[in-house]
Amino acid sequence: MKSNEENTQRFSNQALGAIMMALQESLLNQLDIVPILKGFELADTDEGLVVKNPPTVRITDESEITEKDLLNMVK
């Protein structure tokens, strides 16, 4: 029988950063964060769970970010 500790997984610093970026974008644009989080692809590494497709941030485009944009961030 396996102990609970063997099944425990933790987020890496990278994954926490990806979650925080998604949260910031959704709050600033008043959009639902759930589709972004559901779209995250996670990999288990020695450092913890890593998001293989983290959200990206637009720097030069001044247009409003839509929910479709947020969904595309995780594709």
Residues 5-31: pLDDT tens digits? 678 899 999 999 999 999 988 888 888
User: Residue 68's pLDDT is what?
Assistant: 76
**Whether residue 59 has pLDDT greater than 50:** yes
**Whether residue 54 has pLDDT greater than 50:** yes
For the segment 55-70, the average pLDDT, to the nearest whole number, is 71
Cα angle for residues 28, 54, 23 (degrees, 5° grid): 25
For the segment 21-44, the average pLDDT, to the nearest whole number, is 91
